A and B are shown apart, each in its own frame.
Chain A
Amino acid sequence: MTRPTSEAEYLASLVPASVRGVSRRTLLRGALGAGTLLAAPSLLAACGGSGGSTSTGSASGTVTVGSNQSDAVPKAAIQAVMDAFHKANSGITTKINTIDHNSFQENINNYLQGSPDDVWMWFSGYRMRFFASKGLAGDVSDVWKNLAGMSDALKKASTGDDGKQYFVPSTYYPWAMFYRKSVFQKYGYTEPKTLDEFKTLGAQMKKDGLVPIAFGDKDGWPAMGTFDQLNLRVNGYQFHVDLMAGKEAWNGDKVKKVFDTWAGLLDLHQPDALGRTWQEAAQTLQQKKAGTYLLGSFVAQQFSKGAEQDDLTFFNFPEVDSTIGADAIEAPIDGYMMAKRPKNEAGAKKLLGYVGSADAQNIVVKADPSVIATNDKADQASYTALQKKSVEFVSQAKSIAQFMDRDTRPDFASTVMIPAIQSFLKNPKDIDGLCNSIENQKKSIFSS
């Protein structure tokens, strides 16, 4: 060992070898190595993913399914449907990607423009046609050629702006005024047919200590149902469709009349609705504290199966104008669409044909008795009383609307209508100001 010739060398010799061994250089080298090791799998996956596609002519291989049925009961139902499909078509396996219901909707733009699953669940209405016209959905007209049991109205609801079909319906559910039979029996109420009858009934319910109409608009969308029903009754189906499409003025007399009618009914609604979720409002109905509740038939999910769900029934929203009547209803349709460029097109089309069939829909409606099948060949014998009534209700309707947030542009529905309706509920007196505000925003959005 040589003698150190400078202070630096002397100090360096005092550092033990085990510590000196890790110099700055070796540390950096180690970090680089570790970083590469961590990054390598993701890099490899990126390389490998794109090479695994099989564009087959015959139906075999794997079909990926994007599902938004994240709640336990519907999720199990979808799994059962896919298992049954695999049994019937042993060459094809399905891979279900379940995503939380709200997240699925919120990320739909990115999802479809990235690499979506071959088949994905969605809703019919404007939003379906919107994606079809933007080229984000696959044409499934040839699936429809072999699809039996779907009514013309359903086919129309599955058709895009170019006349081709892009959607295969699975289930739907009507919106109506729900009530408990036992409560109506107890107080001797009858189902009202006109708005005046309903107002009288409401006054009577108040005297009996019930809230006439349960109401919870914290999430913003439930009140859209009330607007839609009133608009369908006051102005008719065609005006409603045109209004949703942006072709009619929101500050015209017709729309003001709808808000006026609604303002006249507000004293029958449950107060402080803006802090209450629809589930809490449904529980008010379930606890026999409210007389009626305007919601979709999924309200049954808040009632326990068996006797409680059997006690639940509904009547059509009463007519307001006798020249218009009450034959227009709202029944949003849920179903499946195909990606524009699916990895397994033949398999995807076969799956779509299956989910539109009666066999698949039987499985779904059995697991979730709050919805009904779209295929009229589905087995209705095992339907609950509520489901049977829903089928009858939907089949006698002359026109079916989808619901405001599916019938109109989503940016208009969520950024304009939700705040507008909530401000109407807070301040029902300034209808002119409200309608002008909506019209200005609508012009700005629809012209872009």
Chain B
Amino acid sequence: MARRKYKGIDHLSSVDRVVVTLMVVVPTLLVLWLVWLPAVGSVLLSFTNWDGIGPISSAKVIGLKNYHDVVTIYPPFWPAVQHNLIWLGVLFLIATPFGLFLAVLLDRELRGSRVYQTAIYLPVVLSLALVGFIWQLIYSRDQGLINQVTGGTIDWYGDQRYNLWAALLAASWRHVGYIMLLYLAGLKGVDPTLREAAKVDGANERTTFFRVVFPVMAPINAIVLVVTVIESLRAFDLVWVINKGRNGLELISTLVTSNIVGEASRIGFGSAMATMMLLISSVFVAIYLRYTFKEQR
């Protein structure tokens, strides 16, 4: 029987070393090639007017003209920024707290909580495109459920005063279930002795939650926050399925897509908007990273 004495990590055999190197290098190359290279490429292309045909070298560099055009003469841009912020606000201030509330309620293990959990979580397994279609059947002006039942003629998806809120309701319907599940999982992990101690001290339900449970759930809170921000910046599928992001449903993501993908092929122009989206997201990412690293110290 051959005896292999364990010599420690610095003394790996050469085969092992090759394997470890490959395991690090191959994924890194993939990430560089599929994520970093296109991202840098997008930023560089935003300074050109490439139309997608022919080699990239045929693109003419036009400096900041795309950015200038986006913020001055492109009518859908500022409404899109506004809508993205509204989306973030609603998800952050209404949908996420409501998900938290439902999680806290379901944590009490009432009768039938399993059924409620499944029912509330079910929209999460549906893709946003399907969600858009389902709600289309409810919101349609001539043939939808709401107008059939109430007899009204409000054009939920077509009237720009209402359609953003209609879309947000559909998106929140899904988002609430997602947050509820994350939070419920976190709540199950809270030490019950903490709650007992609070009860012994005479705290009621509300005080127990806000003063004892919520601070202990800090890591889960951070995750929930990140998920909310990502979902709101990423909002695209639902709005695209409704009306390709026009007429009151403009979002930066839909503007980027409608400019780059398809016949329009305004690659430089779309890349400028995509770069702006990257910068906005980076602000949130920077805040989050600062919070995490500060914690670890």
What residues of chain A have their CB less than 8 Å away from a CB belonging to chain B? 1-2, 6, 8-9, 25, 28, 105-106, 108-110, 113, 127, 134, 136, 218-220, 272-276, 280, 284, 410-411, 414-415, 418-420, 422-423, 426, 437, 440-441, 444-445, 448
Contacts and interface: CB of A to CB of B under 8 A. Distances in A.
Contacts of A426: 160, 247
A422 B247 contact: yes
A410 B159 CA distance: 26
A295 B51 CA distance: 31
B213 to A, nearest CB: 42
Given A2-B1, A419-B76, A437-B73, A106 B246 contact: no
Nearest to A105: B263
A105 B262 contact: yes
A275 B141 contact: yes
16 contacts: A134-B54, A136-B53, A219-B243, A274-B159, A274-B160, A274-B243, A275-B157, A280-B143, A411-B51, A414-B258, A415-B266, A419-B76, A420-B75, A422-B246, A440-B73, A444-B65
Given A274-B155, A275-B157, A220 B244 contact: yes
B179 to A, nearest CB: 30
Contacts of A273: 158
B49 interface: yes
Contacts of A136: 53
Contacts of A219: 243-244
A275 B258 contact: no
B264 A414 contact: yes
B196 interface: no
A27 to B, nearest CB: 11
Contacts of B159: 272, 274-275
B73 A276 contact: no
Contacts of B155: 272, 274-275
B74 A441 contact: yes
Interface in B11-57: 15, 19, 49, 51-54
Contacts of B163: 275
Contacts of B75: 419-420, 423, 437
B69 interface: yes
Contacts of A420: 75
A211 B158 CA distance: 18
Contacts of B141: 272, 275-276
Interface of B: 1, 3, 5-6, 15, 19, 49, 51-54, 60, 62, 65, 69, 73-76, 140-143, 153, 155-160, 163, 243-244, 246-247, 258-259, 261-266, 269
Contact of A444 (B3, B52, B73, B265): B73
Given A2-B1, A419-B76, A440-B73, A272 B158 contact: yes
Chain A interface SS verdict (over half): helix
Nearest to A102: B262
B18 to A, nearest CB: 11
A415 B259 contact: yes
A8 B7 CA distance: 12
Given A220-B244, A275-B159, A109 B265 contact: yes
Nearest to B48: A448
Given A220-B244, A444-B73, A272 B265 contact: no
Contact of B156 (A127, A218, A275, A284): A275
Contact of B153 (A25, A272, A440, A448): A272
Given A275-B159, A276-B142, A280-B142, A414 B262 contact: yes
Contacts of A109: 52-53, 263, 265
Nearest to A410: B263
A420 B73 CA distance: 12
Contacts of A2: 1
Given A272-B153, A272-B159, A419 B53 contact: no
Nearest to A289: B142
Contacts of B261: 106
B71 to A, nearest CB: 13
A422 B267 CA distance: 24
B246 A419 contact: yes
3 shortest A-B CB distances, which residue pairs? A275-B158, A410-B263, A106-B262
Contact of A415 (B157, B247, B258): B258
Contacts of B73: 437, 440-441, 444
A106 B158 contact: no
A379 to B, nearest CB: 35
A17 B168 CA distance: 58
A23 to B, nearest CB: 11
A272 B140 CA distance: 11
A6 B7 CA distance: 13
Nearest to A426: B160
A201 B163 CA distance: 34
Nearest to A440: B73
Given A28-B19, A220-B246, A272-B155, A411 B53 contact: no
Contacts of A419: 75-76, 246-247
Nearest to A433: B75
A13 to B, nearest CB: 9
Contacts of A25: 15, 19
A440 B60 CA distance: 20
B264 A410 contact: yes
Given A105-B262, A437-B75, A134 B53 contact: yes
A11 to B, nearest CB: 11
A109 B265 CA distance: 8
Nearest to B154: A272
Contact of B3 (A9, A113, A441): A9
A254 to B, nearest CB: 22
Contacts of A418: 246
